[in-house]
Amino acid sequence: MRKMRTFIAVNIPVEIKQALQEEIDRLRALIRGESVRWVRSEGIHLTLKFLGEISNSSLGEIHQTLEREAEKHPPGTLRVGGFGCFPNRHKPRVLWIGITEDKGTLALVQSSIHEKLIPLGFEKEGRPFHPHLTLGRLRRNVSKSELSQLQDVVNEFVVGQIGQFEVREIRLIESILKPSGAEYSTLGEYTLGSKGDG
């Protein structure tokens, strides 16, 4: 039985990815050494839930659940901007750009999907949903001087609003890990608000 490493996400428009790449380049120029593993901008997604490894046999139920939940919620507009780190700027493990929205549609979609997937055997999230787009992750075994320099950079780094886009669908995506980095394949697309459209 084939196992697939999967997650649920919103696709990011090309022009937003280009703007994210500019911010990655700007950060990369400021941070010395190889302390950060940068993501490839073409692979950036807005992850709603990481499912981990699933089998072919569970795909049908997941498809039905996502279709049902997506159609309950209308499309929404997301604004991209603002820079931050997880867990915080003093201990920067993940560097990201934020996502904000006025109507909270995305949070509602994420919450409802999350609840409906628990009976299918997926774990309850231990932390609140914080929509973000990851730019890079701190490598292990970073020296104290590299960490100190990185902290100086992230404390000063500012990102304004770099764009906005409308979310009309969510996707189930397979992540195929390769030596050159992850490759992504869409397993399903689910249109938001399809129940109320006609």
Identify the pLDDT of residue 168: 94
Residues known to be catalytic: 45, 132
Identify the pLDDT of residue 183: 87
Amino acid found at 89: R
Q: Which residues of the chain have pLDDT under 50?
A: 196-198
Identify the pLDDT of residue 8: 96
Write out the residue range of the structural domain in which residue 143 sits.
3-196
The residue to which tokens 């120029």 are assigned = 29
Give the CATH number of the domain where residue 114 resides: 3.90.1140.10
Identify the pLDDT of residue 148: 93
CA distance 152 to 141: 18
β-bridge partners, 94 = 86, 137
Identify the pLDDT of residue 194: 67
Half-sphere exposure of 137 (CA within 13 A, CB side): 7
**How many structural domains compose the chain?**
1
Identify the pLDDT of residue 198: 40
Identify the pLDDT of residue 81: 97
